[in-house]
C-alpha cells in the first residue's frame, strides 16, 4: 500500500472517530434543550450531564488530528479548500466557540440559563450541518479555480445534494446520540430516562435512513461517476443497512442496548468507509487526487509513523477514560 493510501486511511479513521464521539456530544446538546421544552429535564438531564462531564474536553482531538493530517499529507488541500471554506469554516469555528463557552460556564450554573441551553442545543445541530459542507464540496461543482479557489455559494445553497447531506448529518447526529444515551441510561438502570431516550432513538432512525436514500439519489444526479463507484462497493452499504435494521430491532424490543449501539457504529462505519473508498482517488473532484497532492515520501513516512503512534495512544486513553468514568458502576449511577 502506498504512502498516500496509508495516510488517507489513518485520517479517515480519525474522522470516523470524530463523527461518533462528536455526534453523541452534539445530539446530547439538542436533547438537553428539548427535554426542557418538553418538561422532562429532570429525567434526561442527569444522564446527559454524567456523560458530558468527563468527555467534552477530548471530543475535538479527533478533528484536530484530521485537519493537521490532511494538510500535512496532502498540502494542496490547503490551496483548494482554504479560501473556499472561509465562510463555512468561520461559521463552524464561531459555533464551536459558542459551544465551548457553554462548557466553560456550565460549572457556574450556565445549564440553568435558558439562553445558554438554547445555544447549546442549537449548536448541536448547526455544527454538523456546517462541517458537512466539506464533504459536499468535495464532489465538485461548488468550487471554481481561478488564481485561487472560490466557493460558489449560490450553487451550494440551491443544490439538492447539499441539502441532502445537511439533513443526513443532522439526523445521523440525533440517531447516534440517542442510541448511545439509551444504552448509557440502561447501564445506569434509569428506567424513566431509558423510556424517553429509546423513543428518541426510534424516531431518529427513520429520518436517518430516509435522508441516506435522498443523498444517494441526489449524488447520482450531481456526480454520476462517484455514484457508479459506490455501486461497485454496494455490499458495504448493504451491510450498513443490515446493521441499522438490527439496531432498530433491538431498540424496538427493549433489549441489549449496548449491542444495538455497536450495530449503529457498524452502520456508520460501513457507510462512511464505503463512501470514502468510492470517492478515491479524488480529494476534490475533479481538481485534486491522492497521488497528485501527496507530500514528499520522507515527510509522508514520518507523518504515518506519527499519526499511527497518535492513534495507538489515543485509543487506549479513551478506553481508560471510559473505564474510569463513563462505565464505572458508581459513576454511571451518579453515586460518585
Per-residue confidence in pLDDT tens, the chain, 336 aa: 677 788 888 888 888 988 888 888 888 888 888 888 888 877 777 777 766 655 656 677 777 778 887 888 788 787 777 766 777 777 878 887 777 776 666 555 555 667 777 877 888 888 888 888 888 888 888 887 766 677 777 888 888 999 999 999 999 999 999 999 998 888 878 788 888 889 999 999 899 999 999 999 999 998 899 999 999 999 999 999 999 999 999 999 888 888 999 999 999 999 999 999 999 888 888 888 877 766 777 777 777 788 778 777 777 777 776 666 655 545 445 455
Per-residue pLDDT at 59: 72
Count of CB atoms within 10 A of residue 152's CB? 14
Per-residue pLDDT at 106: 57
Per-residue pLDDT at 274: 93
Per-residue pLDDT at 329: 47
- 218 contacts 161 by C-beta, under 8 angstroms: yes
Cell 503512534 identifies what position? Answer: 309
Long-range pairs of 58-63 with CB within 8 A, sequence gap ≥ 24 = 58/21, 58/317, 58/318, 58/321, 59/18, 59/21, 59/22, 59/25, 60/18, 60/22, 60/96, 61/314, 62/14, 62/15, 62/17, 62/18, 62/21, 62/22, 62/314, 63/15, 63/18, 63/22
Per-residue pLDDT at 326: 59
Per-residue pLDDT at 249: 94
Per-residue pLDDT at 18: 86
For the entire predicted model, the pTM comes to 0.88
- 147 contacts 106 by C-beta, under 8 angstroms: no
d(CA 332, CA 46): 10
State the Cα torsion 49-310-88-174 to the nearest 10°.
-40
> Phi and psi at residue 327, in whole multiples of 5°?
-110, 20
Cell 468550487 identifies what position? Answer: 143
Domain ranges of the chain: 3-332
Amino acid at each position: 500500500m502506498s504512502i498516500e493510501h496509508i495516510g488517507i486511511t489513518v485520517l479517515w479513521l480519525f474522522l470516523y472517530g470524530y463523527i461518533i464521539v462528536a455526534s453523541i456530544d452534539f445530539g446530547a446538546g439538542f436533547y438537553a434543550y428539548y427535554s426542557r421544552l418538553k418538561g422532562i429535564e429532570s429525567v434526561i438531564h442527569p444522564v446527559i450531564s454524567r456523560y458530558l462531564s468527563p468527555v467534552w474536553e477530548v471530543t475535538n482531538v479527533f478533528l484536530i488530528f484530521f485537519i493537521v493530517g490532511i494538510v500535512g499529507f496532502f498540502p494542496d488541500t490547503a490551496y483548494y479548500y482554504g479560501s473556499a471554506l472561509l465562510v463555512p469554516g468561520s461559521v463552524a469555528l464561531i459555533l464551536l466557540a459558542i459551544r465551548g463557552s457553554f462548557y466553560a460556564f456550565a460549572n457556574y450554573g450556565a445549564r440553568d440559563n435558558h439562553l445558554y441551553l438554547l445555544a447549546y442545543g442549537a449548536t448541536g445541530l448547526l455544527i454538523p450541518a456546517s462541517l458537512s459542507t466539506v464533504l459536499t464540496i468535495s464532489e465538485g461543482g461548488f468550487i471554481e479555480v481561478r488564481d485561487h479557489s472560490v466557493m460558489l455559494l449560490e450553487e451550494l445553497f440551491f443544490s439538492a445534494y447539499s441539502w441532502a447531506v445537511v439533513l443526513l448529518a443532522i439526523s445521523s447526529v440525533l440517531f447516534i446520540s440517542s442510541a448511545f444515551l439509551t444504552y448509557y441510561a440502561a447501564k445506569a438502570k434509569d428506567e424513566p430516562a431509558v423510556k424517553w431516550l429509546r423513543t428518541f432513538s426510534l424516531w431518529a432512525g427513520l429520518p436517518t435512513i430516509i435522508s441516506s436514500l435522498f443523498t444517494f439519489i441526489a449524488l447520482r444526479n450531481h456526480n454520476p461517476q462517484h455514484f457508479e463507484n459506490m455501486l461497485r462497493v454496494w455490499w458495504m452499504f448493504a451491510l450498513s443497512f443490515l446493521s441499522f435494521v438490527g439496531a432498530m430491532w433491538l431498540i424496538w424490543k427493549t433489549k441489549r442496548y449496548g449491542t444495538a449501539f455497536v450495530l449503529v457504529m457498524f452502520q456508520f462505519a460501513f457507510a462512511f468507509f464505503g463512501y470514502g473508498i468510492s470517492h478515491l482517488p479524488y480529494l476534490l473532484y475533479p481538481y485534486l487526487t491522492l497521488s497528485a497532492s501527496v507530500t514528499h515520501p520522507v515527510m509522508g513516512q514520518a507523518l504515518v509513523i506519527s499519526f499511527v503512534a497518535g492513534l495507538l495512544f489515543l485509543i487506549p486513553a479513551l478506553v481508560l477514560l471510559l473505564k474510569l468514568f463513563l462505565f464505572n458502576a458508581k459513576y454511571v449511577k451518579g453515586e460518585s
